[in-house]
Structure 1
Amino acid sequence: MKNIEWRHLKGLNELYVKKRTRLKITSNAFINQVLFNQKKLIRYKLGNHSIIEASDRYYKYYEENFEDMYNYYLSFFKKSGIENSAVKRYTEDDLKSLIFIFNNNKELKKVLTTEYTFSNRVFKGKGAKYLAGKPGLKKDVLKLLEIEEFPEKDAKNNQWRIVVDCKNPKVIVLCENIACLKVPTEYKRNGIELWYVGGNNTKPLVDLPLEKFKYPIYYFCDWDYHGLSIFSRVKNIFNSKGKGIELLEPLNLDNALPVNSPNHKSKWKPEKLSRLKESDYNDSQIKIIESLISKNIWIEEESMGLIELLESKNII
């Protein structure tokens, strides 16, 4: 259901409320294949394919699979003041990114970057020009940030540290990527305090006093050359403070991707262990890195379940 856009959710809700919709929800592959063809929960109105109707079995399926999701995003639209038009082709990741911006408005404005930099960081994997190609989305982003336009140059002190506070934390997890912070509820429920320090922007960690590090600290990142080399820099900062930090390793390589994946620019180096500092990793981690290098693959942070990793090590 990852590729269901807001317009599809609007249509599914309209079906639930009015028993019919004119919105073109079957343009979504999941809705077309599963709801329409396989489960036959929806159908075209007899003699009129511009109208889609719900079967009697549709309502329970909607309540179990879509109602909470629809209400969650609808609540965001109401709180933020952004129009929730069905014309908007916002993906679920777009919506999560908008909610992240809305919830972290003040912090993001303090370190406001150029449009390309902001797009590359917040809409990870979509590219620096993603917002430029979606003027409607950019307009909503600017509204949430309460600005008229992005600055032409990056701020000199362009260092990010965004924290998702947790009432009763058990651990702190530093995320290289921003994805976890977009949907933090489950992590907070499990006592995980999330920090995002912006990938290469490790300077905020240098300036933090020791009292900020009350709990065990773990690092969660892409397992590619850039992600692991950044971990080495982070570990060095923590060593200088006399504080340890542990790298969370993947449970397996099942979700590994080719290094030449679209929008992925981090390549392994030909030198031993890809020039990574061997002493920064334990034996198990070194074996994983060597396997990734030999197969010319990498593991994306988002493909690893953070809670599952922590549970597998009895951390939470």
Structure 2
Amino acid sequence: MRTVEWKYLRGLHELYVGGKTRLKILNNSYIQRIIFTQKKLIRYQTGNHLVLESSPRFKAFYEDEFLQTFLYYNKFFEESGLENNSKKNFTEQDLKALIFVFYNKQEIKKRMTTRKKLSAELFRKENSKYIENKPSLEKAILQLLEVDSFPENDPKNHQWRWVVDCLEPQIIVLCENLDCLKVPVEYKNNNIELWYVGGNNTKPLVDISADKLGLPIYYFCDWDYSGLGIYCQVKNIFKEKRKDIILIEPPENAKKLPVAVKHHKSKWSQEKQFSGLDQSHFTIGQIEVIDSLISKDEWIEEESIDLIEYLIFACRN
């Protein structure tokens, strides 16, 4: 998997612009293994191993693989006022979370929550102390929110809904997780409006007016007990509004993970039939997949589903 932290992206951009860099970008495994060793797109300057220089083929590779990503993140730094230098050890997931905080800071400030709660929402694959264990990340989040610290206790009112609007929406996707909303450009370009209400916090959906229900609504989630259980709650809410919603299904070859995998907390109830889920909310094919997951104690992560590809195919059919 390609993972290139911001400080290394800056080094690659220096190679793109000026043909050389003194930044220690070979400390990144992808750059060292693929770009330097395998593809030989960068090399040490003759007689000086403190300087890396690019080969003639590097420019085209960088434009295809990294340029748009660099420009997207660089624009964020310029607009947000965060310090932008090679000492910032932000991972790609850190940057996506910071961008989400920046563009949604007013809504986040309205329902300001504890550090652990925000950490769990922004970094669902990490433990709740992820922000706490990265002081520079915490400092950046607080700066973006224009506050000095997180509150010690969660507020009682969690009635909120995040929406990524687009000018001419054709489809609404209700997301169980925040990931899609962190970098929504591709969804906007495909006329997809994204909604997120925060996992089990489904009550805001009760107050959605009828004028917002004219478009097809899809539900996008992990295929585990928690994700499908919340889907059933949402299905019931929209049933009262006489609006059907569509569960986005994983492909047949989707990777199945053991429920005991690190950072995954949702477990099937083996004592209850169909793990206690309401079978009436699922098609026969969906029931077969879920029964198989329950019997094997497995789950399917939403990242296994190419959401845009799925929706484009669904609209054509």
Q: Note whether the superposition's TM-score is higher than 0.5.
A: yes
**Paired residue secondary structure (1:298):** strand
1:2–1:92 CA contact under 8 A, matched in 2: no
Aligned-pair CA distance for 1:257 = 1.5
**Paired residue secondary structure (1:132):** coil
TM-score (normalised: structure 2): 0.96
Q: Determine whether 1:274 maps to 2:275.
A: yes
Give the whole-Å Cα distance in 1 for the aligned partners of 2:253 and 2:153: 40
Structure 1 counterpart of 2:172? 172
Give the whole-Å Cα distance in 2 for the aligned partners of 1:69 and 1:91: 13
Superposition pairs for residues 226-241 of structure 1, below 5 Å? 226-241=226-241
1:179–1:302 CA contact under 8 A, matched in 2: no
**Paired residue secondary structure (2:315):** coil
1:253–1:299 CA contact under 8 A, matched in 2: no
Aligned-pair CA distance for 1:152 = 0.8
**Paired residue secondary structure (1:7):** helix
What per-residue deviation string (whole Å, max 9, x for no partner) do you get for residues 265-300 of structure 1?
111111221111111111111011012112221111
Give the whole-Å Cα distance in 1 for the aligned partners of 2:15 and 2:134: 28
Structure 2 counterpart of 1:162? 162
Structure 2 counterpart of 1:242? 242
Letter of the 1:74 counterpart: N
Structure 2 counterpart of 1:292? 293
Give the whole-Å Cα distance in 2 for the aligned partners of 1:171 and 1:195: 11
Aligned-pair CA distance for 1:315 = 5.8
Give the whole-Å Cα distance in 2 for the aligned partners of 1:117 and 1:274: 27
Superposition pairs for residues 168-247 of structure 1, below 5 Å? 168-247=168-247
Q: Determine whether 1:36 maps to 2:19.
A: no
**Paired residue secondary structure (1:313):** helix
Give the whole-Å Cα distance in 2 for the aligned partners of 1:154 and 1:41: 50
1:45–1:51 CA contact under 8 A, matched in 2: yes
What per-residue deviation string (whole Å, max 9, x for no partner) do you get for residues 5-30 of structure 1?
00110110111222221211112221
Structure 1 counterpart of 2:15? 15
Aligned-pair CA distance for 1:92 = 1.1
1:175–1:196 CA contact under 8 A, matched in 2: yes
2:254–2:304 CA contact under 8 A, matched in 1: no
Letter of the 1:231 counterpart: Y
Length, aligned pairs only? 316
Q: Determine whether 1:151 maps to 2:151.
A: yes
What per-residue deviation string (whole Å, max 9, x for no partner) do you get for residues 179-230 of structure 1?
1111111111111110001011111111222222221111100100000001
Aligned-pair CA distance for 1:174 = 0.2
Return structure 1 stretches of 4+ with deviation > 4 angstroms: none
Aligned-pair CA distance for 1:49 = 2.5
Is the deviation greater in 128-137 or in 154-163?
154-163
Letter of the 2:101 counterpart: I
Unaligned ranges ≥5, structure 1: none
1:113–1:158 CA contact under 8 A, matched in 2: no
Aligned-pair CA distance for 1:46 = 3.1
Q: Determine whether 1:55 maps to 2:55.
A: yes
Structure 2 counterpart of 1:283? 284
Structure 1 counterpart of 2:98? 98
Superposition pairs for residues 117-128 of structure 1, below 5 Å? 117-128=117-128
Aligned-pair CA distance for 1:127 = 1.9
Give the whole-Å Cα distance in 1 for the aligned partners of 2:300 and 2:102: 29
2:202–2:234 CA contact under 8 A, matched in 1: yes
2:250–2:304 CA contact under 8 A, matched in 1: no
What per-residue deviation string (whole Å, max 9, x for no partner) do you get for residues 134-191 of structure 1?
1111111011111111111111112331000011111111000001111111111111
2:255–2:300 CA contact under 8 A, matched in 1: yes
Q: How much identity, in percent, do the aligned residues show?
A: 53
Aligned-pair CA distance for 1:253 = 4.1
Give the whole-Å Cα distance in 2 for the aligned partners of 1:116 and 1:223: 25
Residues 156 and 261 of structure 1: is their aligned pair in 2 closer, same or farther, counting only changes over 3 Å? same
Unaligned ranges ≥5, structure 2: none
